[in-house]
Structure 1
Amino acid sequence: MLEINGVTRRFGKTVAVNSVNLQIAEGEMVGVIGRSGAGKSTLLRMINRLVDTSEGAITFNDVVVTGLKGTALRRWNRDCAMIFQQFNLVPRLDVLTNVLLGRLNHRSTVKNLLGIYSREERIRSIAALERLDIAHTALQPAGTLSGGQQQRVAIARALMQEPKVILADEPIASLDPLNAKVVMDSLADINRREGITVITNLHTLDTARHYCSRIIGMAKGEVVFDGPPIALTANAVRKIYGADATGETVREDITSTAIKTPPPPVAARGLEPVLAG
């Protein structure tokens, strides 16, 4: 159980996250949605301890995460893998080495400095790449891959950590719809097959509805919705995203990344095209 109790984060006079209380059970697939600046990324970074809390506590299986230091903190960074929007790979290193970096907190400092990896670790890395259908890129520099491929490498690296929780911070924000689907399918498969808790920040309502069994909506640093996709009504969406310039609730299709089939040309529907002048 991951518990977030009264967590607040201030940056100067700005309150990025305000008194958030959540309980997330093992094996849940959770989508966190909201507008830019709602506090989604700050919340995930506090869970991973990339950002410290100003108030409140985060615990995991009765371990107070917010109080960890030294070796215990590195162990938590290993158990709580982070996937970023911009991949955070080392572009000049080959894909296989980038994936092997997921073992850093499992190994001695000497082995890490010398870059010595066991045969078993290499086999596991290749297996992770095969699972994500990118084993053929193993010897390519990571910087030569497409965005979708790089994000799958980042997921493979996270798997190598043997995490108990995966945090994905806008993992599909910079991807086209096809690659976004591949990445989300991969995260859902990991959640389903390994039972790993996955918490992912998303801008897209349709993606959250399709992949997540639970959706948390944030606005101005606060949780304003917490429930299953079916409970995400128009009123709930309005609380999360507010209204547009006309006062209307934000349309869900505006946030969509779904792959849509374009309509047939006008002439193909038996109508003559209208020609100008």
Structure 2
Amino acid sequence: MLELTDVTRRFGANTAVDSVTLSIPEGQMVGIIGRSGAGKSTLLRMINRLTGVSGGVISHHGRPVSTLTGRELRSWQRDCAMIFQQFNLVPRLDVVSNVLHGTLNMRSTFATMFNLFPREDILRAISILERLGVAENAPKRAEALSGGQQQRVAIARALMQSPKLILADEPIASLDPLNAQIVMDALKDINEQEGITVVTNLHTLDTARNYCERIIGMAAGKVVFDGRPEELTTEAVRAIYGAGADGEEISESMTSTSLHARGRPADVKAKLTPSGVALESI
């Protein structure tokens, strides 16, 4: 169980995350949605401890992680793998070496400096790449791959850590619809087959609805919705994304995507009306 209790992050006078309290059971796939600047990325970075906590407590199975330092912090960051929008690979390094970097927190300084990895780790890295459909690219430089392929390599690196939790910060924001589907399918498969908790920030309602069993909506640093996809009502969407002038459409990047979710094309669009957000067939 991952638990956040009154977690807050301030940057000067600005409060990016405001008194967030959540409990995420092991094995859930959770989507966090909201406008840009809602606090989604800051929340994930606090869980991983890339960003410090200004107030409140983050714990995992009763172990307080918001105050960890040194070796214990590195152990937590190994257990809590992070996937980024821009992949965070080493561009000039070959793909398999990038995946093997998922074990750096488990290796000695000497082995890390000279890029020395045991044979069993290399074979495991290739096996993970095969699972994700990019094993043929193992000897290539990461910079030679497409964006979708690079994101799958980043997922492979996360799996190489043998994590208990995967945090994905806008993993499909820079991808075309086909690669977005491939990446989301991969994360869903990991969640279902490995039982690994996946918490992912997403810009689109359709993607969150189609892939996540639980959706958390954020606005101005606060959690304003927490429930199952079918509970995401017009009023809830309005609370998450806000309301504009009569008839103003919520942007496609917030509410819809051409991503074919689990093989099914998105079939709704959202339009803001005086009474709320109407979901219309297209």
Instruction: After superposing the two structures, state which structure 1 stretch, 132-141 or 109-118, moved more.
Output: 109-118
Paired residue for 1:81? 81
- Equivalents in 1 of 2:89, 2:253: separation in Å? 32
Distance in 2 between residues matched to 1:191 and 1:102, nearest whole Å: 18
Post-superposition shift, 1:49?
0.2
Runs of 5+ consecutive residues of structure 2 not aligned to the other structure? 266-282
Contact 1:128 1:156 in 2 (8 A): yes
Aligned counterpart, 1:266:
none
Which SS does the other structure have where 2:66 is aligned? helix
> Residue in 2 aligned with 1:49?
49
Alignment pair present for 1:198 and 2:192: no
**Aligned pair 1:147/2:147, yes or no?**
yes
Deviation of 1:255 (Å): 2.8
Q: Shift in Å at residue 115 of structure 1?
A: 1.1
Residue 12 of structure 1 is matched in structure 2 by 12
Aligned to 1:65: 65
What does the per-residue CA deviation read over 1:128-170, in whole Å, with 9 as the maximum and x for residues that have no partner?
1000000010011001111000000000000000000000000
Alignment gaps of 5+ in structure 1: 262-277
How much has 1:113 moved relative to structure 2? 1.4
| Cα distance, 1:248 vs structure 2 | 5.1
Larger Rg: 1
How far apart, CA to CA, are the structure 1 residues paired with 2:204 and 2:103? 32
CA distance in 1, matches of 2:98, 2:113: 15
**What residue is the counterpart of 2:207 in the other structure?**
207
1:238–1:249 contact (8 Å) kept in structure 2: no
Closer/same/farther in 2, CA of residues 253 and 94 from structure 1, 3 Å limit: closer
The question of whether the paired residues in 2 share the 8 Å contact of 1:29 and 1:198 is answered with yes
- 2 CA distance for matches of 1:224 and 1:22? 12
Write the distance in 1 (CA, Å) between the matches of 2:253 and 2:109.
49
- d(CA) in 2 for partners of 1:67 and 1:222? 22
Matched, 1:112 2:112: yes
Q: How far apart are the structure 2 equivalents of 1:86 and 1:213?
A: 25
Distance between the aligned counterparts of 1:168 and 1:202, measured in 2? Answer: 9
RMSD: 1.5
Mapping of residues 82-231 of structure 1, within 5 Å: 82-231=82-231
For the structure 1 residues 40 and 254, does the alpha-carbon distance in structure 2 shift closer, same or farther, using more than 3 Å as the test? Answer: closer
Measure how far apart 1:258 and its partner are.
Answer: 2.7
1:250 Cα deviation (Å)?
Answer: 3.0
TM-score by length of 2: 0.90
Q: Distance in 2 between matches of 1:221 and 1:95?
A: 37
Quote the sequence identity (%).
66
- Quote the residue 1:264 is aligned against: none
Cα shift at 1:253: 8.4
Alpha-carbon distance in 2 for matches of 1:254, 1:77: 30
Partner of 1:243: 243
Q: TM-score by structure 1 length?
A: 0.91
How many residue pairs get aligned? The number is 261
Partner Cα distance (1:169, 1:184) in 2 = 12
> Are 2:35 and 2:254, in contact at CA under 8 Å, matched by a contact in 1?
no
Q: Give 2:22's aligned residue.
A: 22
